[in-house]
Chains A and B, each alone.
Chain A
Amino acid sequence: ETGVTQTPRHLVMGMTNKKSLKCEQHLGHNAMYWYKQSAKKPLELMFVYSLEERVENNSVPSRFSPECPNSSHLFLHLHTLQPEDSALYLCASSQHGPGTGGDTQYFGPGTRLTVL
């Protein structure tokens, strides 16, 4: 079983659709992250959950709504997205939450999202 899995790998949606991205980690980690990756831009941190509680929300529009039902699963609910939201959405996990120095984040393969 690979460490961090994400589904779907590809998603095309219209601006009026509602969809959800799923992430699952099999590493026994306590923290999970959502990132947005756009071409030739740095990774943008969207949300951080530590022990199932949201600890960071970096000014992300409300059309993105995270959910963390337990320490192994993380969802990103999407609704009324804009074409500029098209990007690769990466999920990551780490043993500890923010506040630790050498804590390594392990990434899933991402969901390639296209908003028409």
Chain B
Amino acid sequence: GQNIDQPTEMTATEGAIVQINCTYQTSGFNGLFWYQQHAGEAPTFLSYNVLDGLEEKGRFSSFLSRSKGYSYLLLKELQMKDSASYLCAVKDSNYQLIWGAGTKLIIKP
């Protein structure tokens, strides 16, 4: 079967750095997405990786290793507003989006 694994919950301190991991086993690969979802709100697009390596966008970076079936989202200089769930999703060989259950990130002062 197809599977996306992410930690259920993580806690970090304001101003620090946190890395949220995502591992996947899918039938084929056509890209990996990260979304942010604040409680009661819409998921919003953060990043898309289709080639190996690191993509940086301000305080957020996303890394992909296709050979390892692994990605991470790196958040720097954490702010209280970064408290949210972070969803990892992979497009398989049929371009179906397979979703992880999300990682709830709690930021403490």
Contacts and interface: CB of A to CB of B under 8 A. Distances in A.
Which of A43, A90, A109 counts the most chain B CB atoms within 10 A?
Answer: A43
A75 interface: no
Given A101-B31, A104-B48, A107-B43, A45 B95 contact: no
Interface of A is mostly: loop
Interface residues of A, number: 20
Contacts of A108: 42
Interface string A96-116: 001111101111111010000
Interface of B: 4, 8, 30-31, 33, 35, 40-45, 48, 50, 87, 89, 91, 94-102
Interface of A: 4, 40-43, 45, 90, 98-102, 104-110, 112
Instruction: Pick the 9 closest A-B CB pairs, nearest first.
Output: A107-B42, A42-B99, A43-B99, A101-B30, A109-B42, A107-B43, A42-B101, A101-B31, A99-B95
